[in-house]
Amino acid sequence: MEQWPPAGDDALLVELGAALRDSGPVPEEFLNAALAAFTWRTVDAELAVAELTFDSACDLEPAGLTRSAGTDRTLTFRTGRVVVEVEVTATGIVGQLSPARGGQISARTPAGRYEDVAVDAVGFFSLGVPPTGPVQLRARTAEYAVVTAWVTLR
């Protein structure tokens, strides 16, 4: 067995060249993993992450804000010009997208998607009672696509 690492640069180049020549075919699972990693390179390019900017559970209410009766919690998420506002109650979640557009909203947990609903033309949507643990909302319209930061609603 030869000394590793080789003593000089020339010996190292010879060793590396031999390794490249004798590598054999790339296993299929390596190719599949490389392709999957490559396709994820632009996953965030199409989705803007809307950060939590207001949470009634820990922020003081702005002066003049009127909440619906029975609202347990109000949250506002923002990214650029897009705002996602939600009210969490004992019976579910109601919310609105701004700028108002029709589209689709998906709610998911770390285990996967648990509900998909339509967003009407004025941006309103309604979801069922959220599960315990972290939740993320993903909104898609013809003009924009956003995903909220993860937040525990219950």
Tens of pLDDT, residue by residue over 12-51, are 888 888 878 877 788 888 888 887 777 666 555 567 899 9
Q: Distance (Å, rounded) from C-alpha 92 to C-alpha 82?
A: 23
**Protein fold of 48-152:** Immunoglobulin-like (2.60.40)
Question: Where is 114: in which H helix or E strand?
Answer: strand 112-119
Q: Hey, where are the domains in the chain?
A: 9-42, 48-152
Residues paired with residue 108 on neighbouring β-strands, in sequence order: 113, 136
Structure pTM? 0.66
Residue ranges, the chain, pLDDT below 70: 1-6, 39-46, 60-71
Q: Give the whole-angstrom CA distance, residue 136 versus residue 110.
A: 9
Residue 40, both tokens: 């994820």
What's the pLDDT score for residue 60?
A: 66
pLDDT of residue 120: 97
Bond preceding residue 62 cis, omega within 30 of 0: no
How far, in Å, CA of 121 to CA of 95, rounded? 13
